[in-house]
Amino acid sequence: MSLHDQDGGEPRPPHQLRTEEDEEERAYGVDPDFVDSVVDLLDANRVGEVRAVTDDLHAADVADLIEQIDPDHREALVEVLKPGFDAEVLSYLNPDLREEVVEAFEPKELAAAVAELETDDAVDLIQDLDEEQQREILENLPPETRALVQENLTYEEYTAGRLMQRDLVAVPQFWTVGRTIDYLRSGAEDLPETFYDLFVVDPMHRVIGTVPLSRILRARRSVAMAELQNDDFHTIPATMDQEEVANLFRQYALVSAPVVDAGDRLIGVITVDDVVHIIDEEAEDDFFKLGGVGDASIYRTVIDTARSRLKWLGLNLVTAFLAAGVISLFSATIEKVVALAVLMPIVASMGGNAGTQALTVAVRALATRELSSSNAPRVVGKEVLVGLFNGVVFATLVGLIAGFWFGPAIGVVIACAMTINLFVAGLFGVMIPLALDRFGVDPAVASGVFLTTVTDVVGFFAFLGLAAAFLL
């Protein structure tokens, strides 16, 4: 069943080209077959047909198409899309590609397209451009839009002020449902395209309540806003960090929320679609940090990508040399019992993995605020016990295998080292993120290096040290 069968007589959207198998997986958006068909049309210079198949696409799908097409055809595609270009496509585009696409436009063309956007989308787009491009676009915007965009840009990046939409509906408390609806019907100029809540404001333009639209639609014309308004609402200071904004929306399942300035006056609104975007970004951020990559995207060049990864690899190299230093202290022991060289990576590797498990849970719990000073001691205690428990389990297993392989003495030594290292891994796996968080350092970014250093050093030291003490 296609998602678009209900569209009536409209032209079939591109994903109808899909095979049966693809359909199971993906029932919307553009797919590789569609991308290929556009490439073929571009190669044959059938510009009109390219325009025809892309015309009915949602802006998000056009953005996907631009992302997925190979770089050689990207320029040609953008050239075809230029007339009547929908600037919303740029909002959906990966930031790394956005710049490339923006450069294909004359500032005037781009300004005309940007002027059609809502303030928040325009700001999102403009903030990433270089100063020259920013200036050119701003100059070509209608004065009022320009003023709003510039005002949003005065707020720091990653704050509510940058995210907020300026068009909103605010009404006084004494207005009735009837008067409100009449006002909306009058087609007042600055009404947003879509909105979900009305804000009830006092004469100082401070928010005193919110009213979901569904509540207005269900009330009689004579009912006053004061009766409908929700008093249990949350205003967002324009300076609030976007991660905080996302947490607030998530915590109270909000769809839109009013943004206020330092004087508590209503100046904008943030809607859930922007928040979904932030939640994705923040989750991606933590995911990348755990994987040891900073800011990443598959659209970066080889050199940019390689350079962005050097830092983490460099840090890891320091750790690795530290571990090597520990091993070199026991060169004489290894020379006599070469089995130690064979087995020692097992102790370090198991410690690193067990520690990463504890660290992963702790970093996530800190990000979602489930881990706080109220329950930190309990969680640390738990992780230590988990480390000990798994330490004993794997110590027994590895001790037996190593014992059969290289003799019982080595089995006992590796079992003891394993228990120590998994205990330490559990302890530091949760203590390192907690400590970094306490010192205001993002635990996602730095915990991994510290942890590996600890588990490598402790692992090698415990194993080789015990061996030196008891085997020779």
Give the single-character DSSP code of 241: B
Q: Which amino acid is at 61?
A: D
Of residues 79-98, which lie at the interface with its own copies (CB under 8 A)? 94
472: CB partners within 8 A, 6+ apart: 333, 336, 337
Stretch of residues binding its own copies (CB under 8 A), selected from 43-51, 78-86, 146-154, 274-282? 274-282
Strand partners of residue 271? 256
Of residues 391-430, which lie at the interface with its own copies (CB under 8 A)? 393-394, 397-398, 401
CB closer to its own copies out of 133 and 360: 360
CB of 231 to its own copies, least distance (A): 6
CB closer to its own copies out of 33 and 128: 33
What is the enclosing helix (H) or strand (E) of 200? strand 197-201
Of residues 290-319, which lie at the interface with its own copies (CB under 8 A)? 290-293, 296-298, 302-303, 305-306, 309-310, 312-313, 316-317, 319
CB closer to its own copies out of 46 and 218: 218
Applying CB under 8 A, what is the total number of residues that bind its own copies?
A: 150
Q: Are 363 and 442 a contacting pair, CB within 8 Å?
A: no
CB atoms within 10 A of CB 186: 9
Q: Are 180 and 226 a contacting pair, CB within 8 Å?
A: no
472 part of the interface to its own copies, by CB under 8 A: no
Stretch of residues binding its own copies (CB under 8 A), selected from 109-117, 132-140, 146-154, 284-292? 284-292
CB of 7 to its own copies, least distance (A): 6
Out of 172, 173, 364, 446, name the contact with its own copies by CB under 8 A: 364
385 part of the interface to its own copies, by CB under 8 A: yes
Stretch of residues binding its own copies (CB under 8 A), selected from 104-112, 144-152, 155-163, 334-342? 334-342
Out of 108, 234, 265, 438, name the contact with its own copies by CB under 8 A: 234
Q: Please tell me whether residue 451 adopts helix, strand or coil conformation.
A: helix
Q: Which amino acid is at 411?
A: G
219 part of the interface to its own copies, by CB under 8 A: yes
Stretch of residues binding its own copies (CB under 8 A), selected from 108-116, 123-131, 159-167, 227-235? 227-235
108 part of the interface to its own copies, by CB under 8 A: no
Q: Give the C-alpha separation, 73 to 244, whole Å.
A: 40
CB of 145 to its own copies, least distance (A): 21
- 99 is written with which tokens? 């710049």
Of residues 156-215, which lie at the interface with its own copies (CB under 8 A)? 181, 184-185, 187, 191-192, 194-196, 206-208, 212-215
CB of 75 to its own copies, least distance (A): 16
Q: Are 39 and 69 a contacting pair, CB within 8 Å?
A: yes
328 part of the interface to its own copies, by CB under 8 A: yes
Q: Give the C-alpha separation, 371 to 38, whole Å.
A: 49
CB closer to its own copies out of 31 and 436: 31
Nearest to 169 by CA among 189, 140, 142: 189
Q: Please tell me whether residue 276 adopts helix, strand or coil conformation.
A: helix
- 167 is written with which tokens? 């068009």
CB of 137 to its own copies, least distance (A): 23
Q: Is 45 left (phi over 0), alpha (psi -120 to 50) or beta?
A: left
Q: What stretches of 226-351 adopt beta strand conformation (E)?
A: 236-237, 256-260, 266-271
